[in-house]
Chains A and B, each alone.
Chain A
C-alpha cells in the first residue's frame, strides 16, 4: 500500500522535473536500446542464416583449397580464397575410394570478367563444372535448359547464368536464352538462367545468384590448367555425412603427402563457423551493454544523490510524522526503480522501432523476442535499484532533527 503511494509520488516528482528526469534516464535508455537492438539484429541474422544453410541442399560436403579452421574462435574469410591446391587426381581417388557418395562435382575457377555489347561485369563468379551442380545445390532453372554431357563432350561454349547476372546483363523482359555473351575473349551462348533465391547464402564463398557456370571441359581447355578450386559432394544420407567427410579428408591428405593445404567442410561445420562468429558478437554486445548500463546507473546514482540532498527537509518532515528509516529507504529505491524502468521502457520502445526500420531498410529480419524485452526491463529496474541503493541508504540514515533543520 505504501508501494502504491511511493510509485505515485515517484511519478509526481519525475513529472515535476521533466528535463532532469529525461537526462537521468538517458543512460539507461541508450543502454537498453543498444542492447536490445543489437541482440535482435544478432538473433535475426542467426535465424536467417540457419534456415539458409539448411536450404542449400542436404548432406553437402565441400572440399576447398586452403585452410579453414572451424575449431578456432577466429575465422579469416581470406583463407577461403586460397590458391587452387586440389587436382583432378584427388577427384579420381575420391571416386574410387570413398563409398556413400551420391553425387560429386568439381570446379575450375574462371576469370571473372564478362561482357555483353557495351555492358561489362567484373564481380561475377565464373566457374566450370559438371552438369549435376544445380541438382546438388538445389537450384532450379527459370528458363532454358540444363547443361548436358553432350555439352561436356563437345567442349561447347555455353553458359548458365545466375539470376542476378541475368538481370545485370539483360533488360527485365529481355529473353536471355540463345543470346551471346563474351567471356575470356570468347563468345558463349546462354542456355539457361537460374531462379534467383532471396538472400542466397554462399556455401563456402559462392553466392549462386551471382555465378556463371560453364562445362568443365570447356573451362579446362580455356584456362589450360586443371587445378580444382572446389569439390562439392553429396553424401547418400544424413547418417553418412560425417564418415564421408572423414574419408574424403583422409584420401586427399594421403594424395597430398599429408599436407593439409585444403579444407573439408560440412553444413554442420558451416553452422559452427558462424556460431563462433555470433559468440564473438554476443560477447561484444554484452560488453557494450554492461558499460552503457553502468554509465546509466551512475547517472541515476548521481542525480539521486543530488535529489536526496535537495530533499533533506522532506525527509525530515516525513520522519517527524512517523516515517521509519525503512519507509524512506523504500521510497527512494522505488523512485530510482521507476526512473530506470521508464528509461528501460523507452529504450525497449525505441529498439522496437529500430528493429522494424532495420528489417525494412537493411533487410535483416531483426526480431525482438519477448525474452529480450523482459530482460531489458528487468535489467533496467535492477540497475535502478542497485545504483539507487547508496542514495536511498543516505536518505534513510538522515537524523530527523538535522534533516528538519536543513535549509
Chain B
C-alpha cells in the first residue's frame, strides 16, 4: 500500500509587495502525492509552480490560515528553523534550472557537501560520492569545477548532489530548461530510472509537453489554482 509523502490541504501563499498590493501566488491548493510518484507540474509562467515547489521543499512558508502542509508526516508549522533544516536535508533533494552548484567547489566537493552537513561518516560519504558520480557517468569529471563542465554534466552533478542524503522526495524546478533537448532527454531518463529503481518521489516542473509525457501523470496550475 503506497503511503502519502506530500499532502497539501487548502494551502495558500500570498506575496505582499506593499501593504495593499499583494500577489496570491497559490490559492487553496489541495493535493496528495504518494511515495514513488513520478509526476510533472505544468502551467504557464507565473502560475505558481515554483512557489508550490518551494513550499513543499521547506524553503518558504505558506500563509498562516487554516491550510495544512505535511511533508513525510511532519507539519513544518511545528518545527523550528533547525528542525526544518534537518528535515530538508534528510528528506528532500533539489534540482534547479540554473543548477546552483557552488562555483568554487569541484564536482566531488559539491556532491559531498550535503553529507558533511548530515554528518555522514567520512568513509561512507566518500563511497557514496564516488558511487553517485559514477552512476551519473561523471567518474572522469570529479575534479572539474562547474565552469569546466557542460550544462548536461552540471545538471548530472546537481542530481548526484540531490541524491546524496538518500531523500524520499526530489523536487526539480525546470531541470531541463537550460539544456538542449538531447541533454534534457538524458536527464529525464536518469530521473525516471531513479524513480523506478529507488522509488524516489519526483515532482518535475516543466512547460515542455515532451518532458511531461515522460512522467506518469501531470498536474496543472493556472493563476495559483489547480485545474483538473
A and B assemble together = yes
Interface residues of A (CB under 8 A from B): 1-2, 5, 9, 12-13, 16, 313-314, 316-327, 399-401, 404
Could you tell me if B94 and A324 are in contact, using CB atoms closer than 8 angstroms?
no
In the assembly, what is the distance between CA of A16 and CA of B94, in Å? 27
* Cβ contact within 8 Å between A320 and B59: yes
Q: Which of A316, A319, A325 has the most CB of B within 10 A?
A: A319
Query: Which one, B90, B105, B119, B161, contacts A1 given CB within 8 A?
Result: B119
Contacts of A321 in B (CB 8 A): 89, 94, 113-114, 117, 161-162, 164
Q: Please tell me if B122 contacts chain A, counting CB pairs below 8 Å.
A: yes
Q: Given A16-B104, A401-B60, A404-B100: A322 and B85 within 8 A (CB)? A: yes
Q: Provide the bound-state CA to CA distance between A12 and B54, in Å.
A: 31
CA distance A259 to B47 in the complex (A): 100
List B residues at the A interface (Cβ < 8 Å). 54, 57, 59-60, 81-82, 85-86, 88-90, 94, 100-102, 104-105, 113-114, 116-119, 122, 161-162, 164-165
A325 B59 Cβ-Cβ under 8 A: no
Q: Inside 8 A of B162's CB, which chain A residues have their CB?
A: 321
Q: A325, B85: Cβ atoms under 8 Å?
A: yes
B102 touches A324 (CB 8 A): no
Shortest 5 CB-CB distances between A and B: which pairs?
A322-B89, A324-B85, A401-B60, A401-B59, A321-B114
Q: What's the least CB distance linking A181 to chain B, in Å?
A: 78
Partner of B100, one of A9, A320, A324: A320
Q: Which residues of A contact B54 (CB under 8 A)?
A: 401
Q: Which chain A positions have C-beta within 8 A of B60?
A: 399-401
CA distance in complex: A2, B100 (Å): 21
Contact in complex: A322, B90 (CB < 8 Å)? yes
Which of chain A's residues has its CB closest to B51's CB?
A401
Q: Which residues of A contact B86 (CB under 8 A)?
A: 322, 324
A219→B119 CA distance, assembly (Å): 89
Q: Which of A5, A316, A325 contacts B116 (CB 8 A)?
A: A5
Contact A323 B85 (CB under 8 A): yes
- Please determine whether A404 and B89 come into contact, CB atoms closer than 8 angstroms: no
Name which residue of chain B comes closest to A15, CB basis.
B104
Set of chain B residues within 8 Å of A1, measured between Cβ atoms: 116, 119, 122
What is the minimal beta-carbon distance from B129 to any residue of chain A, in angstroms?
Answer: 13
Q: Roughly how many angstroms separate A185 CA and B113 CA in the complex, as a whole number?
A: 91
Once the chains bind, are B114 and A325 in contact (CB under 8 Å)?
A: no
Choose among A5, A13, A316 the residue that contacts B104 (Cβ–Cβ < 8 A).
A13
Complex: chain A residue closest to B57, CB-CB: A320
Chain B neighbourhood of A322, CB < 8 A = 85-86, 88-90, 114, 117-118, 165
Q: How far is the CB of B95 from chain A (nearest CB, A)?
A: 10
A389 CB to nearest chain B CB (Å): 19
Identify 4 new A-B residue pairs, CB closer than 8 A, beyond the known A16-B104, A322-B114. Answer: A13-B104, A322-B117, A399-B60, A401-B59
Bound-state CA distance A2–B114 (Å) is 11
Jot down 19 A-B pairs with beta carbons below 8 A, ordered by A. A2-B117, A9-B105, A317-B100, A317-B102, A318-B117, A319-B85, A320-B94, A320-B100, A321-B114, A321-B117, A321-B161, A321-B162, A322-B90, A322-B118, A322-B165, A324-B85, A324-B86, A327-B85, A400-B60
Cβ A326 vs Cβ B165 within 8 A? no
Complex: how many Å from CA A348 to CA B225?
64
| Cβ–Cβ < 8 Å partners of A401 in chain B | 54, 59-60
Q: Which residue of A12, A13, A16, A324 contacts B81 across the interface (Cβ within 8 Å)?
A: A324
Complex: chain A residue closest to B125, CB-CB: A1
Tell me the complex Cα distance, A74–B151, Å. Answer: 75
B116 CB contacts on chain A under 8 angstroms: 1-2, 5
Residues in A neighbouring B118, C-beta threshold 8 A: 322
A12, A313, A401 — which one has the most chain B CB atoms within 10 A of its CB? A401
Q: What is the CA–CA distance of A257 and B54 in the complex, to the nearest angstrom?
A: 96
B171 to A, closest residue via Cβ? A320
Q: Tell me the bound Cα distance from A167 to B164 in angstroms.
A: 83
Q: Nearest CB to that of B117 among chain A residues?
A: A322
- Give the CA-CA distance A85 to B39 in the complex, in Å: 108
Complex CA gap A323/B85 in Å reads 6
A13 to B116, CA, bound (A): 19
* CA–CA, A327 and B88, complex, Å: 14
